[in-house]
Chain A
């Protein structure tokens, strides 16, 4: 038996998820910011953290986006193999949802076509970037992420030689955050992918950003790596907005996938505190 899901329902759901994410900072991030605010010793950095919490209140109350960079939409679809999408094309529905969120939600039109030349604004934030996986079952899980580019621009990937090992991975991630300095609007969430192929590795880093902020990886060895990288990053002294301080990252999330005998791929996808992803299951 195939379960039917209406394409317009998909569009409407995505529109709602993207808007909600842009106005309302999620509880996990608010909690992490409050902890950082308590722990921060640097007066200017502490001041910034307080203002970011105040900003979240204003954004939710007045329905003004948390940040003027309402990002590029990245939509993850986990499509049950027993689902039949009716009434339209699934990918068109994703684009329609992105379009609706942009116009109905007063989001910024931040996407340009012909990026290497004319850079023509598409006027509705389409196209969204879509990642689909087919899973067992008769449900459709949608995760919609509005990815800001202040942090996206500071992301990096390296195909390390295996000899570099664990310490090579740590050094690469820490150096990436150090070089980014004030640019990605610290405090950041650091998404790290280790393994796979070049494109899989960066996708792991992006997926790492979808985890609840501060939840450690269930695998103890990976969780330990996360906390070691976090400590090293917070020793950099960059602080909130780069004004100097103890808290440069709120969390480090690592995702791992097997790789080839010849390589040790590491990807870093940075995310500012405006972590804007929401999910729904249809």
Chain B
């Protein structure tokens, strides 16, 4: 990692295979375009749908999904607070969606070895948004539509339009992992034990 923050790169969604090749662990990106939003309950339903041999309510092929459940929007606003939720809870579901063509996931926190293997195999990335910055992040979300599972409330499946949505590449398609690299760089070995 460098001593200064890399300059954030503007990226248009969805992520093409060419763009995915240029993304590396630690890169700062500003995403513009369309992405989907879903967390625990929406993932559970999507997997049940796939297991039943049915089609998903939206085609996730080549798309990015953001693990998030917003607070209600105030009148006149597109969305309320809208930061990432912990991604590990989606670990059971993600490999299936990656195999079905999902190219990117946005969340916060660590992913399992199985998910990391799937990302490498199918050339997908995991991007980190800043947990606890939901008010700030909401400003880059311009439009929100519920596309399925409306009964799930905050956990419904949404389609959102974003402009300059800030993320950091955590896991790239080459097997890089920002959490492991960052931690080992700053860890002070404990000699007291």
Contacts and interface: CB of A to CB of B under 8 A. Distances in A.
B187 A236 contact: yes
Give chain B's interface secondary structure class.
loop
Interface stretch (B54-62, B130-138, B157-165): B130-138
B182 A242 contact: yes
Interface stretch (A7-15, A103-111, A254-262): A103-111
Given A232-B190, A236-B187, A239-B186, A181 B179 contact: yes
Contacts of B88: 183
B185 interface: yes
Interface residues of B, number: 50
A16 interface: no
Nearest to B8: A47
Nearest to A106: B72
Nearest to B72: A106
A108 B187 contact: no
Give chain A's interface secondary structure class.
loop
A260 to B, nearest CB: 28
Interface in A10-65: 41-48, 51-52, 54-55, 58-59, 62-65
A274 interface: yes
B71 A59 contact: no
A119 to B, nearest CB: 7
Interface string A238-255: 110111111000000000
A138 interface: no
Interface of B: 1-5, 26, 41, 68-74, 80-83, 85-86, 88, 108-110, 128, 130-136, 138-139, 153-154, 166, 168, 178-179, 181-188, 190, 193
Given A43-B3, A69-B134, 10 more contacts: A44-B1, A44-B168, A51-B136, A65-B135, A182-B108, A185-B132, A236-B183, A238-B183, A244-B179, A244-B182
22 contacts: A44-B178, A44-B182, A47-B5, A52-B132, A55-B132, A55-B135, A64-B80, A64-B135, A65-B71, A66-B132, A67-B131, A68-B68, A106-B80, A108-B80, A108-B154, A150-B109, A181-B183, A183-B86, A185-B109, A238-B183, A244-B1, A244-B184
Interface of A: 41-48, 51-52, 54-55, 58-59, 62-70, 106-110, 119, 121, 123, 150, 153, 171, 181-183, 185, 232, 235-239, 241-246, 272-274
